[in-house]
Amino acid sequence: MLVPEDWGRYLDTSEWALGSDGLPFRTAARVLVVTQDSDVLLLEGHDAADPDHSWVFTPGGGLRPGEDPREGAARELAEESGIGVVPTDLEGPVAHREAIFRFATVTCRQDEIFFLLRLPDRCAVGKEGWTALERDVVDSIAWWSPQELHSAQERGQEIYPVRLPALLGELAAGWSGKILDLTDPVDAEVLAQLTAHPRQRPEPLSKDPDD
């Protein structure tokens, strides 16, 4: 079963609601935090239902009811990293991603809006603002060099968005003004199936925790 009847036990129903395809859906805001040397700030986490399955992802999470995406992105960044910025410090939105993933036995669909924060150098980060769920399923927050990220992806580490390692140099140099489509190819295939056959919900091909 892709969506158990008690899915509300695992997801915050103030953020998630069942969509027309029967999958829990929400809109999220995320931040690509990149230094002038193309280092990037990322979290690593695991599935609550499968601790051996881990992946790397950007700071961010679900928007509160009526919350502006830019304000939500700044809030999430502060909560997850301790980096405090005003919403106008964020460039963009610079990218969009449609994601479909499984978290804690529930298959979810998420619409993600990305903003960019360029910093001169790495800065200290902390997890004092993490929620109880984040403390349970997020293993670390750290700066990654481009080389570390490329090597991790080559070893088979799941990184979301998938295109992130190839984009770091471009992001560090400054946003071009063009909104990037960061939807993963496998997710695009699943979403196309959902659109064509809304009652036939295929197994998700990618998994990430977007809390």
Task: Could you list the beta-strand ranges (E) of the chain.
Answer: 17-18, 24-35, 40-47, 50-57, 60-62, 91-103, 106-119, 138-144, 158-159, 180-181
Do 24 and 7 form a contact (C-beta atoms < 8 A)?
yes
Calpha distance 163→180 (Å, rounded): 10
Mean pLDDT per 10-residue section of the chain, whose length is 211 residues: 65 72 86 98 87 91 94 97 98 94 75 97 94 87 97 95 95 95 88 68 46 51
Closest-CA residue to 150 (of 40, 67, 62): 40
Residue 8: predicted pLDDT: 63
Which token pair is 182?
A: 């960061």
